[in-house]
Structure 1
Amino acid sequence: MSKLKIASILFLLSTFILKFSSMLRDLVIAGLFGDSYRADAYIAAMTIPNALVLFMLTGMKDAFLPSYYKFDAIGKGEQHLTNIAKGTMWISLILSIVGMILAAPIVRIVYPSFGQYEDGFFIATWTIVIYFASLVFVGINAVYEGYFDAQRKFSFSVFSQTSVVLMTIVFALLFHEQWGILAVPIGYFVGTIVSLMLKLIYRTPKKFMKWKQPLNKEEVRQFYLIFWPVGLTIAVGQINLMVNTFYAAGLDQEGVVANLNYAFRLVNIPQAIFGVTIATIAFPIIARARVMQDMSFFRKGIEKGILYMLMFITPTLAGMWLLMEPLVETVYERGAFGPEATMLTSSYAILYIGSTFFYSIQAVVAKGFYTLEKGHLMMRIGLGSILLNIITNYIFSQLYGAPGIALSASLVGMLYSAVTFTLLWKLIDGMEAKYLLKNTLQIGIATAAMLGVLLVLEWQTAIGSLPSLLHIVVLGTIGAVIYFAILLLFKNEFARKLIEKGGNPKSLL
């Protein structure tokens, strides 16, 4: 088996662990605080610094990888790593200080409704302060996770992120009685430090960076000219989520912010597992194709990345649509999270499905833009999507209330994905349309057939009366067998490759 396939399998497994731990964090928060105003205040406040966290974390990795390859090709990869790590440390430190200073006025301006609760402003303000304090460690972690991705050490990069989530969970469980919901951001802060220490130990302090190397400010400046539109584009989804949260908090109904967040997090799991995994594995391949000026291989990488994405994400979301209520019940319903919260969260989650589908496709498309160093185009489209999201949120929240906010996310995701895909198509002089259409139709037919059989079983048998977890496992297993059996009947190349052993890197995507 090729080294890339081994790395890909390890990355997929570590990503599953990361997303399982992320889900565990969410259900711990739901179990301890349910859909109370405390959960609302924490979640609403967290979305503000989290936009910058995502800007640094994911944006840095996407911008750093092609930049590192370029410098490594001339023997200056380590020097470049040191320059970007040092530059990012200072930039993150400045952002941290500014964010902490502005936390209190931001909360009072953006979330005035939290003032009706005894400690609403206190929770929201300190949540922002603690997350901004973490930003300096997040920035340095992001640079090194980009470096590990460039070295195809995907699993270690994901493992270091998992340590942050696990520390958040530990602090929430151990200290929620003493610190309340603030135990969650405090755990996150400690986790970012632990993650950095793991990287320092892994590379050893001596190899971590060239400590005596003077900072090349011009090199950092040139990098950030490329990075900031990439980072802003990556943060578009989080910014749109922040807009959704603003409108949800404005509805002035306790639990709306929390239930929308729980719904989004649950539906986002397939995107986080398949979307991020496939896009991350595809990125080094298309980046190297770009360096070698092999546009044919570049197009093939994009095509196969999209089709692998569709093969996994389409049946998964179809199954989630059918099983959403038992899923929410299984994941969240315990402790402070009751049946009423399950019903509301399930209804919101179904409306978020479109958002997950389209942003998963866009995750691969975005890698093409970054590799072509056309991140500024993505940024412009992203800014347009934010404006559209503000407008549609206003209209739909007025018409439909909280469900309208979830519906707005799916509509904006569809338009955002369509525009970016069309533009990339033009930039690379098209792709094999018949190849894409044939495989997409096969995936669509297999998904429709799977869903049809599952609907019959759900309505005409006793499976629907089984306990929630068993209900999900039985229908999920039957659905997976039907889906892949139909794809194999079509002799679909992607389904066949999943059961093949060996091969070279080009056969993966």
Structure 2
Amino acid sequence: MSKLRIASILFLLSTFFLKFSSMLRDMVIANLFGDSYVTDAYIAAMTIPNAIILFMLTGMKDAFLPSYYKYERLGKGFSHLTNIVKGTFWISAVITIVGVILSPLLIRQLYPNFNEHGTDIAVWTAVIYFLSVAIVGVNAVYEGYFDAQKKFSFSTFSQTIVVLCTIGGALLLHRQMGIYSVPFGYFVGTVLSFLIKLFYLRPRHFLLWSQPLDRKEVSSFYMVFLPIGLTTAVGQVNLFVNTLFSARLGEGVVSDLNYAFRLVNIPQAIFGVTIATIVFPLLAEAKTKNDMRLFKVGIEKGLIYMFLFLAPTVAGMLVLMKELVQAFYERGAFTASATAQTSEYAVLYMGSVLFYSIQAVIAKGFYTLEKGHYMLRVGILSIIVNIIFNAILSNTIGAAGLALSSSLVGLVYSVITFTTLYNISGGFRLAVIGKEYAKIIACAAVMTIVLLFIKYNLHAERLSLIPYLAVMIISGAAIYFVALWLFRVQSFKEILTKGRIKKVSASRETGEL
């Protein structure tokens, strides 16, 4: 069994566990605090520092991997790691100090409709999350380093620790601290994640402690990182824009939109991000060899395998959305009325799952070619489009328009990024991609029709909730796999015959998928 296959399987499993724990965190918050103004204040406040945190976490990994490979070929990989860790720590520390000082002013200016208690919650939530940024920056560099070593699962494990501590903080301390227990748990998890990395690598292999900081090398890295990080933060900026609009639409809107977004984001994070992350080292290898054919086949495979897993998941969630929201959220402080609202928003968010998953694979191509500035330009355009769509749709159809806006913006974003990469890379085999997509869509459509028949004609919905979901999910998976076999989907055939995604070099020889 190849090292890449083992790493891919471990990464997929660890990603499943990460998303499960993230979903469990949201379920705990929904159970304890529901969609009250307290939850609204927490979510609205954490969106601001969270944009910076994701800027560091995801952007750093995308920028560090090709940069590390470049220095590693020169025998300077560990030295480069040391420089980036030290430089990132000082930059993150400055962001922390500025964020903590400005949080009271920002919250009051951005969310004037919050009552006094809600404002206090929002201010302290922002402060605690900003205190985490200094450590998050260092964690992000090492997670990029582990990805460069193809230790994808360890990187995901360290993020899972943070989520589990957040859950633990909420469960153990909510009576004493209220909603503050959630950001406090996150801060503790961030520190623990750092200590685990330090223990795993051991201090002398953690970095070259005595090496002076090479400011020129750090500056060169950040010239590449900034457009990548800012591009990564675009999604959070758009989410922040949505929060600004939703905070003015009444109590519970911010929370219900957030719960809906978190739920539908699961397949994107599991399949879209996972496939993109696994493909990234292959693209970096192609860039190192200056082999554009290998690079293009890697992108094609990433797009096809992502869609192979994503299409049935999206279709199934659309059929079962209300029941999924009930199963995940409806207990404790989360009522049936919150379920109805969240389900409506979740359906309208589903387009963003597909489009941003496509964009996740495409983005790796830009970063590999060191063309991240293209993504940044499109990202800025998407923010402008999002503001326009939010203003129009929230005024016409209310809060549901904010969820619909995310899907429309995702469509614009993915179309522009795909066509741009297509042009600068010399084009992809659109016939191959289109043929596979058409077959996969047909299989997902067959699955959807049969599930609707089971639901309404065989009255499967009369079962209690969990058995009903189990029957529908198992039936859907079985129908989809049979359809894949009947339609002779090539990517599915590869999985059956090889048990893994073929190395892209094999495709170079045959010219086939």
Query: Secondary structure of the equivalent of 2:488?
Result: coil
**Matched residues, percent identical?**
59
Asked if the contact 1:4–1:505 (Cα under 8 Å) also holds between the matched residues in 2, the reply is no
Separation in 2, partners of 1:478, 1:430: 39
Q: Do structure 1's residue 58 and structure 2's residue 58 form an aligned pair?
A: yes
Separation in 1, partners of 2:25, 2:503: 35
Asked if the contact 1:5–1:505 (Cα under 8 Å) also holds between the matched residues in 2, the reply is no
Partner of 1:185: 183
Separation in 1, partners of 2:184, 2:495: 41
Partner of 1:377: 374
Displacement after TM superposition at 1:119 (Å): 1.0
Separation in 2, partners of 1:356, 1:471: 24
User: 1:322 aligned to 319, 323, 329, which one?
Assistant: 319
Displacement after TM superposition at 1:302 (Å): 0.1
Partner of 1:434: 431
Q: Do structure 1's residue 103 and structure 2's residue 100 form an aligned pair?
A: no
Q: Do structure 1's residue 459 and structure 2's residue 456 form an aligned pair?
A: yes
Separation in 1, partners of 2:327, 2:248: 30
User: In the TM superposition, what are the counterparts of 1:389-404 in structure 2 within 5 Å?
Assistant: 389-404=386-401
Q: Deviation digits for residues 286-315 of structure 1, max 9, x if unmatched?
A: 011011011111000000100011111111
Separation in 2, partners of 1:124, 1:496: 51
Could you tell me which runs of 5 or more consecutive residues in structure 1 were left unpaired when the two chains were aligned: none
Separation in 2, partners of 1:498, 1:181: 45
Partner of 1:361: 358
Separation in 1, partners of 2:21, 2:129: 19
Displacement after TM superposition at 1:501 (Å): 4.5
Could you tell me which runs of 5 or more consecutive residues in structure 2 were left unpaired when the two chains were aligned: 508-512
Partner of 2:286: 289
Q: Deviation digits for residues 423-477 of structure 1, max 9, x if unmatched?
A: 0000111111111111011001101111111111111012111122221211111
Separation in 2, partners of 1:124, 1:163: 24
Asked if the contact 1:7–1:152 (Cα under 8 Å) also holds between the matched residues in 2, the reply is yes
User: In the TM superposition, what are the counterparts of 1:56-455 in structure 2 within 5 Å?
Assistant: 56-114=56-114, 116=115, 118-251=116-249, 253-455=250-452
Separation in 2, partners of 1:148, 1:438: 36
Q: Which residue identity lines up with residue 489 of structure 1 in the other structure?
A: L
Q: Which residue identity lines up with residue 167 of structure 1 in the other structure?
A: C
User: In the TM superposition, what are the counterparts of 1:35-46 in structure 2 within 5 Å?
Assistant: 35-46=35-46
Query: Secondary structure of the equivalent of 1:235?
Result: helix
Q: Deviation digits for residues 125-181 of structure 1, max 9, x if unmatched?
A: 001000000001100000000000000000101000000000000010000111110
Asked if the contact 2:10–2:153 (Cα under 8 Å) also holds between the matched residues in 1, the reply is yes
Partner of 2:24: 24
Displacement after TM superposition at 1:102 (Å): 0.3
Q: How many correspondences in the alignment?
A: 506
Displacement after TM superposition at 1:417 (Å): 0.4
Q: Do structure 1's residue 3 and structure 2's residue 3 form an aligned pair?
A: yes
Separation in 2, partners of 1:336, 1:502: 45
Separation in 1, partners of 2:11, 2:329: 27
Displacement after TM superposition at 1:486 (Å): 1.3
Separation in 1, partners of 2:263, 2:227: 28
Query: Secondary structure of the equivalent of 1:499?
Result: helix
Relative to structure 1, the CA distance from residue 483 to residue 161 in structure 2 (aligned partners, 3 Å threshold; closer, same or farther) is same
Displacement after TM superposition at 1:502 (Å): 5.9
Asked if the contact 2:283–2:295 (Cα under 8 Å) also holds between the matched residues in 1, the reply is yes
Q: What TM-score does the superposition give when structure 2 sets the normalisation length?
A: 0.97
Separation in 2, partners of 1:351, 1:467: 26
Q: Which residue identity lines up with residue 428 of structure 2 in the other structure?
A: M
Q: Deviation digits for residues 247-275 of structure 1, max 9, x if unmatched?
A: 00011x11000000000000000001111
Displacement after TM superposition at 1:48 (Å): 0.5
Q: What TM-score does the superposition give when structure 1 sets the normalisation length?
A: 0.98
The CA RMSD measured in Å over matched residues stands at: 1.1
Separation in 2, partners of 1:59, 1:365: 14
Query: Secondary structure of the equivalent of 1:387?
Result: helix
Separation in 1, partners of 2:7, 2:490: 21
Q: Deviation digits for residues 177-216 of structure 1, max 9, x if unmatched?
A: 1111010001101100000001001100110000000000
Separation in 2, partners of 1:197, 1:290: 34
Q: Which residue identity lines up with residue 47 of structure 2 in the other structure?
A: T
Asked if the contact 1:145–1:157 (Cα under 8 Å) also holds between the matched residues in 2, the reply is yes
Partner of 1:476: 473
> Larger deviation: 427-436 or 213-222?
427-436
Displacement after TM superposition at 1:491 (Å): 2.2
Q: Deviation digits for residues 322-346 of structure 1, max 9, x if unmatched?
A: 0000000000011100111001000
Separation in 1, partners of 2:3, 2:497: 15
Separation in 1, partners of 2:467, 2:316: 14
Q: Which residue identity lines up with residue 98 of structure 2 in the other structure?
A: V
